[in-house]
Structures are given as C-alpha cells and as structure tokens.
C-alpha cells in the first residue's frame, strides 16, 4: 500500500525559514489508511523522571525522542507526521533551539502550531508535543 502525501507552501503565505530550511508545512494533504494520534509527550525518561530541568534544549530533545518512540510503537515514523501541537513555557527560549527540531523533522515537515503557555503538568516541564500521523 502507498501513502499519498503532498506538502503545500501557498505562495500567498509567509514561509518561516531558519538556515534556509522551511520550519513547517502550511498544508499537508494525505490519504492514509490509518491515523495515529499521539498524546502530549513530555521530557520524561522511561522511569518518569524529568530530563533537563531548567534546560529547554535537553527537554526538547527528550520530548522529540519520546514522540519518535511513540510513533514507532504504532508502526509509524517521524516521516508519517501530519500535524504537531507544541506547548512551551518560554517561546523565545524554544526558538533558540530550532536546530533540535530540524534534526527530528528532516523527512517531511508536518503542519505545526506552537503556543506559549503559563505552565505544563509540572512546573519543571518546559515543552509538550502532541501529534497526528498517517499510515498507509
């Protein structure tokens, strides 16, 4: 089975770039046979310990690693991502670490929303990402 995916960057919309790489797709058209919904992933290790307290870079890396593990458990990969929602407690600090995001999202940029929030489930947490992926 094939997975039909088309990323669209409409000419009438600004394309946010860092180091000449587009950070996200404005539109993704997909014809999956299955949808995978991933709950909000946090910077916790396998034992539930918070990784990188006070360190947005370390928390972002752990959160994206956890997202990858969750996708793999469903038979998907980061390249199957269609949409992500990212919640951060400091958006200025988050945008200092776009390179970490680009390490993980190199295959196909999902549609994406990033929102600054007052706090997450515990005060030490700085980033949470939920996602939708499509499978053939």
Please name which of 76, 4, 3 lies closest in space to residue 38, comparing C-alpha atoms.
76
pLDDT of residue 55: 98
- Has residue 107 got a pLDDT over 80? no
What is the C-alpha to C-alpha distance for residues 90 and 49, in angstroms, rounded to an integer? 21
pLDDT of residue 104: 93
- Has residue 1 got a pLDDT over 70? no
Give the lowest-confidence range in 3-7, 41-45, 54-58, 96-100: 3-7
pLDDT tens, 120-133?
Answer: 999 999 999 999 99
pLDDT tens, 17-76?
Answer: 878 878 888 888 888 789 999 999 999 999 999 999 999 999 999 999 999 999 999 999
Q: Are 96 and 56 within 8 A, CB to CB?
A: yes
Mean pLDDT of 71-90: 95
CATH numbers and ranges of domains, the chain: 4-135 (3.30.1330.40)
- Count how many Cα atoms sit within 13 Å of the Cα of residue 91 in the half-sphere of its side chain: 8
Please name which of 53, 46, 66, 58 lies closest in space to residue 129, comparing C-alpha atoms.
66
Count of other CB atoms within 10 angstroms of residue 66: 20
Cα separations in angstroms, 136 against 4, 18, 39, 71, 105 = 8, 31, 21, 14, 19
């Amino acid at each position: 089975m094939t997975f039909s995916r088309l990323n669209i960057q409409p000419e009438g919309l600004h394309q946010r770039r860092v180091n000449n790489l587009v950070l996200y797709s404005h539109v993704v058209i997909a014809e999956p046979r299955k949808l995978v919904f991933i709950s909000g992933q946090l910077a916790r290790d396998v034992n539930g310990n918070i990784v990188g307290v006070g360190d947005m870079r370390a928390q972002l890396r752990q959160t994206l690693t956890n997202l990858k593990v969750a996708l793999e458990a469903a038979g998907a990969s980061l390249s199957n991502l269609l949409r992500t929602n990212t919640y951060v407690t400091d958006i200025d600090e988050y945008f200092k670490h776009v390179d970490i995001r680009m390490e993980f999202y190199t295959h196909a940029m999902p549609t994406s929303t990033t929102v600054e929030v007052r706090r997450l489930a515990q005060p030490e947490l700085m980033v949470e990402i939920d996602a939708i992926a499509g499978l053939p």
